[in-house]
């Protein structure tokens, strides 16, 4: 790549393909001054490629992805997508707000998963590029009509992806509604910091004292369960694979890790370091910061080798997700932080992905104190 091109952050727009109704899908390539590159498509706001340097400065793609728009239009487990209106599960696809019960689309057995069959991952967003002295980004907007997938209220939604020269991807979500409703959005990238192979040797630190354990249909029981003395204790970094085969009820229910880790017990806009992942061979380090109260750690258990992209297949545990979020099924759990959005209020949340290399930028590795929980 030409050096001049790397001196300043830039955004390039390309045609990516057409939807069956002839609507054009756009691809934006964001580049920062240090050569980090990111591809995002307007369909689903999907991050299709993320090029970051390894310890020796070699660039490699650290997200799982598919090769064509047709592949993204076919069935896949939310690769790289924006998730809304409500990420993860809502029990029985139902919730009651101000005395009115709303029936949502039940797209996972009787439950609702990741916003329904036509969730935000399957909408074509308006995408506008921007460049600043220190960053390159896109602003995605979407109007989700009243009743979309069963949710009340017209939701005006906005997501900004901003890639900075500090090698951070700052992702900011906001939404307003004309009726009382619920919102809980996230980003669903599958990472593999080695670029290929399984993710069991990646070392993970998760700043959480508790998880929200689930029942057999992956719905939280409502309990906050301490991680102490369980395979869910990632407060000190350990390889993802170290305890994944342990004879533990929650690991068996999730077929591995597929759980919400509690970062905070109430809503606040304080940005905290939720997770830090390092991959020993490449030396790549990913930190995830967020103001959300939880983060879903999913160890890619249901990948099964049938999908392929980027010249390879994606077997079980070839990627992991860290999805900052409000807790699953909060609308039906009085004890969980609220996900209600009322007219006149603005929903907002933020995820910062920070890319670095082992031994670099140690000054930025601040360890936040986990929230005090049982």
- Residue 210 near residue 221 (C-beta atoms within 8 A): no
Please give the DSSP secondary-structure letter assigned to residue 370.
P
d(CA 356, CA 166): 9
Binding residue for ligand BGC, selected from 302, 305, 338, 364, defined by CB under 6 A: 302
Size of the site for ligand BGC (CB under 6 A): 10
Cβ-closest residue to ligand BGC? 77
Residue 6: enclosing H or E segment and its boundaries? helix 3-7
Binding residue for ligand BGC, selected from 323, 329, 357, 371, defined by CB under 6 A: 323
Please give the DSSP secondary-structure letter assigned to residue 85.
S
Alpha-carbon torsion 137, 146, 114, 311, what sign? Answer: negative
Query: Which residues from 155-214 bind ligand BGC, rule CB under 6 A?
Result: none
Q: What track of x and - describes contact with ligand BGC for positions 59 through 98 (by CB under 6 A)?
A: ------------------xx---------x----------
Beta carbon of residue 358, minimum distance to ligand BGC (angstroms, whole number)? 28
Q: Is 12 a catalytic site residue?
A: no
Please give the DSSP secondary-structure letter assigned to residue 167.
S
366 CB burial (10 A radius; 0-12, 13-18, 19+): exposed
- Residue 88 near residue 296 (C-beta atoms within 8 A): yes
- From 47-55, 167-175, 282-290, 296-304, span contacting ligand BGC (CB under 6 A): 296-304
Binding residue for ligand BGC, selected from 296, 318, 339, 356, defined by CB under 6 A: 296
Is residue 121 a contact residue for ligand BGC (CB under 6 A)? Answer: no
Q: Is 228 a catalytic site residue?
A: no
Is residue 325 a contact residue for ligand BGC (CB under 6 A)? Answer: no
Is residue 258 a contact residue for ligand BGC (CB under 6 A)? Answer: yes
Closer to ligand BGC by CB, 53 or 116: give it: 116
363 CB burial (10 A radius; 0-12, 13-18, 19+): exposed
Closer to ligand BGC by CB, 29 or 212: give it: 212
Residues paired with residue 191 on neighbouring β-strands, in sequence order? 63, 320
* Contact set with ligand BGC (CB under 6 A): 77-78, 88, 218, 258, 296, 298, 302, 321, 323
């Amino acid at each position: 790549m030409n050096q001049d091109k790397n001196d300043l952050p830039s955004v390039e727009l390309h045609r990516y393909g057409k939807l069956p109704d002839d609507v054009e899908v756009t691809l934006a390539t964001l580049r920062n001054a240090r050569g980090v590159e990111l591809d995002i498509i307007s369909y689903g706001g999907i991050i299709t490629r993320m090029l970051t340097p390894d310890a020796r400065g070699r660039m490699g793609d650290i997200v799982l992805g598919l090769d064509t728009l047709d592949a993204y239009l076919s069935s896949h487990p939310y690769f790289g997508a924006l998730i809304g209106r409500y990420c993860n599960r809502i029990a029985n696809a139902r919730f009651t707000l101000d005395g009115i019960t709303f029936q949502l689309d039940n797209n996972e057995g009787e439950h609702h998963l990741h916003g329904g069959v036509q969730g935000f991952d399957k909408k074509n967003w308006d995408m506008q590029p921007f460049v600043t002295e220190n960053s390159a980004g896109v602003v995605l907007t979407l109007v989700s009509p009243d009743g979309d997938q069963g949710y009340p209220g017209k939701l005006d939604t906005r997501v900004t992806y901003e890639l900075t020269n500090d090698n951070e991807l700052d992702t900011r979500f906001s939404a307003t509604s004309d009726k009382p409703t619920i919102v809980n959005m996230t980003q669903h990238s599958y990472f593999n910091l080695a670029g290929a192979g399984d993710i069991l040797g990646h070392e993970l630190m998760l700043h959480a004292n508790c998880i929200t354990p689930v029942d057999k249909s992956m719905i939280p029981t409502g309990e906050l369960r301490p991680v102490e003395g369980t395979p869910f204790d990632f407060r000190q970094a350990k390889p993802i694979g170290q305890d994944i085969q342990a004879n533990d009820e929650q690991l068996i229910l999730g077929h591995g890790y597929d759980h919400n880790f509690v970062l905070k017990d109430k809503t606040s806009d304080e940005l905290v370091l939720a997770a830090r992942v390092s991959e020993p061979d490449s030396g790549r380090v990913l930190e995830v910061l967020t103001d959300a109260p939880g983060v879903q750690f999913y160890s890619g258990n249901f990948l099964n080798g049938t999908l392929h992209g980027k010249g390879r297949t994606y077997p079980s545990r070839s990627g992991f997700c860290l999805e900052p979020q409000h807790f699953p099924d909060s609308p039906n759990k009085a004890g969980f932080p609220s996900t209600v959005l009322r007219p006149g209020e603005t929903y907002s949340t933020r995820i910062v992905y920070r890319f670095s290399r082992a031994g670099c930028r140690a000054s930025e590795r601040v360890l936040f104190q986990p929230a005090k929980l049982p």
